[in-house]
């Protein structure tokens, strides 16, 4: 049975004077830092051996951290729809692997040269680099598109000695221990519960960041969000944080639209009952919105997002979208409407995560309300089925 998610009491403010897949990750696995690995007693992981099949709870080994790497004991990992794309075979599986990229835990050990975290630190892990700080992209402020980040080699192996690839990002968070690059971590307060901290590793930074960092929505600009799952709700609360109005939520389920209201939507449109484009235009006095955010993985949603734009409006692709997108005609862009993408919320990881923690503790970011249920690792297949059925905002796997 799922475990109830305990709310967290906000931590006190710091004392005065205190600190309060674009260019993709380069897909060339490097050699492991060294051949040695350490087998934790009874270390378990949920391994994907075959698509459209249950994950297997298997005993695995994990490397010790090499130079620039961090070994983390997992505290919690949320189930993201990107994980489900791998489970369902929407993304080709090149071998057995461990998904889970929206994760948090405690640093167990650090490799040579690591300076930003130390053993005992509580960290969020993300499928994104914090950047080298030296390449052109980093110097332009695009640290999430660092040109020097190389996808690491697998750090996990099963009992047969098979390498287990990290899936849906180089984290491998559905395991009791993992190894990631230092730049994939951001410190969080020790008293922020893991089942909340992990949400900052993808869902929050992707949705909230798409609005705040990528689109840079301004007060009184109008916003529509198509698809109000976990990432969509974070886009809605990002729009509310920016002072957008109106904020129109579009979904097929009344239950999700009710949640969207709680996260800041001013209007809702059930696209199973009315035309989504017309519903959004009705909410904006016929003009259309300044920004639409695509959180639904379908070409139909892309078309709707474009058609609901007002003059000079921008449709922002956030979700991995499937289907044909070749039906757009040049004349449709005469009204200066445009498309753009958002890669994990255009996030600067070590800068944005502390900011999100700060606005959470000041009551301006909802985290507790995002968690539907917590499950143990041995219950992960139940949690995945619940997420696939659309029953949850975020299901979280908790460890220990």
Between 143 and 245, residue with greater pLDDT: 245
Q: In whole angstroms, what is the distance from residue 87 CA to residue 84 CA?
A: 5
CA nearest to 254, candidates 273, 232, 277: 273
- Parallel, antiparallel, or unpaired for β 223-226 and 247-251? parallel
Residue linked to tokens 């922002």: 316
pLDDT band at residue 206 using 50, 70 and 90 as cut-offs: very high
Report residue 258 as tokens. 């009710």
The verdict on pTM exceeding 0.75 is yes
How many angstroms from the chain centroid is the CA of residue 340? Answer: 18
Task: Provide, rounded to the nearest whole percent, the portion of the chain with pLDDT above 70.
Answer: 88
Q: Is 159 helix (H, G, I), strand (E, B) or coil?
A: coil
Residue 334's pLDDT is 84
> What are φ and ψ of residue 275, in 5° steps?
-70, 125
pLDDT band at residue 400 using 50, 70 and 90 as cut-offs: confident
Q: Is the peptide bond before 35 cis (omega within 30 degrees of 0)?
A: no
Q: Mind listing the pLDDT tens digit for each residue in 354-367? A: 999 999 999 999 99
Q: In whole angstroms, what is the distance from residue 106 CA to residue 123 CA?
A: 6
pLDDT band at residue 297 using 50, 70 and 90 as cut-offs: confident
Q: In whole angstroms, what is the distance from residue 129 CA to residue 361 CA?
A: 25
Instruction: Assess contact for 360 and 338: CB atoms under 8 A.
Output: no
Report residue 387 as tokens. 């997420």
- CATH class for the region spanning 207-343: alpha beta
150 DSSP 8-state letter: B
Least reliable range by pLDDT among 189-198, 374-383, 388-397: 388-397
Q: In whole angstroms, what is the distance from residue 9 CA to residue 261 CA?
A: 23
Q: In whole angstroms, what is the distance from residue 65 CA to residue 97 CA?
A: 19
Query: Could you tell me the residue ranges of all domains in the chain?
Result: 37-201+367-398, 207-343
CATH code for 37-201+367-398?
A: 3.90.180.10
Which segments of the chain does DSSP mark as H helices, in order?
81-87, 136-139, 194-197, 203-209, 230-242, 254-262, 276-283, 299-307, 349-361, 380-388
Q: Mind listing the pLDDT tens digit for each residue in 19-61? A: 223 333 333 333 444 434 455 546 999 999 999 999 999 999 9
Sign of CA dihedral 378, 80, 271, 321: negative
**Averaged pLDDT for residues 10-20:** 33
Residue 143's pLDDT is 86
């Amino acid at each position: 049975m799922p475990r109830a998610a305990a709310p967290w009491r906000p931590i006190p403010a710091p004392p005065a004077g205190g600190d309060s897949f674009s260019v993709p990750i380069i897909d060339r696995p490097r050699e492991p830092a060294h051949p040695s690995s350490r087998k934790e007693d009874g270390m378990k992981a949920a391994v994907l051996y075959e698509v459209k099949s249950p994950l297997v709870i298997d005993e695995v080994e994990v490397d010790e951290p090499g130079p620039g790497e961090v070994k983390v004991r997992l505290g919690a990992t949320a189930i993201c729809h990107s994980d489900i794309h791998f489970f369902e075979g929407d993304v080709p599986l090149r071998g057995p692997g461990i998904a889970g990229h929206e994760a948090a835990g405690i640093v167990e050990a650090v490799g040579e040269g690591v300076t930003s975290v130390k053993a005992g630190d509580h960290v969020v892990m993300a499928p994104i680099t914090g950047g080298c700080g030296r390449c052109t992209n980093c110097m332009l402020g695009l640290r999430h598109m660092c040109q020097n980040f190389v996808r690491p080699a697998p750090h996990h192996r099963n009992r047969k000695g098979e390498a287990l690839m990290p899936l849906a990002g180089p984290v491998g968070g559905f395991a009791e221990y993992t190894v990631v690059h230092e730049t994939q971590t951001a410190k969080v307060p020790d008293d922020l519960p893991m089942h909340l901290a992990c949400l900052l590793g993808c869902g929050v930074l992707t949705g909230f960041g798409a609005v705040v960092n990528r689109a840079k929505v301004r007060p009184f600009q109008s916003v529509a969000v198509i698809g109000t799952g976990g990432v969509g709700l974070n886009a809605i609360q990002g729009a509310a944080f920016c002072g957008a109005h109106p904020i129109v939520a579009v979904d097929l389920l009344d239950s999700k639209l009710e949640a969207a209201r709680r996260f800041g939507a001013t209007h809702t449109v059930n696209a199973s009952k009315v035309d989504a484009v017309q519903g959004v235009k009705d909410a904006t006095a016929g003009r259309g919105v300044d920004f639409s955010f695509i959180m639904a993985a379908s070409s139909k949603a892309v078309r709707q997002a474009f058609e609901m734009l007002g003059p000079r409006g921008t449709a922002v692709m956030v979700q991995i979208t499937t289907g044909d997108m070749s039906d757009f005609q040049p004349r449709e862009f005469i009204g200066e409407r445009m498309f753009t993408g958002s890669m994990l919320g255009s996030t600067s990881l070590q800068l944005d995560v502390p900011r999100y923690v700060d606005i959470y503790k000041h009551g301006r970011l909802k985290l507790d309300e995002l968690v539907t249920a917590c499950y143990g690792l041995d219950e992960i297949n139940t949690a995945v089925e619940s997420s696939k059925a659309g029953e949850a905002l975020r299901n979280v796997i908790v460890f220990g």
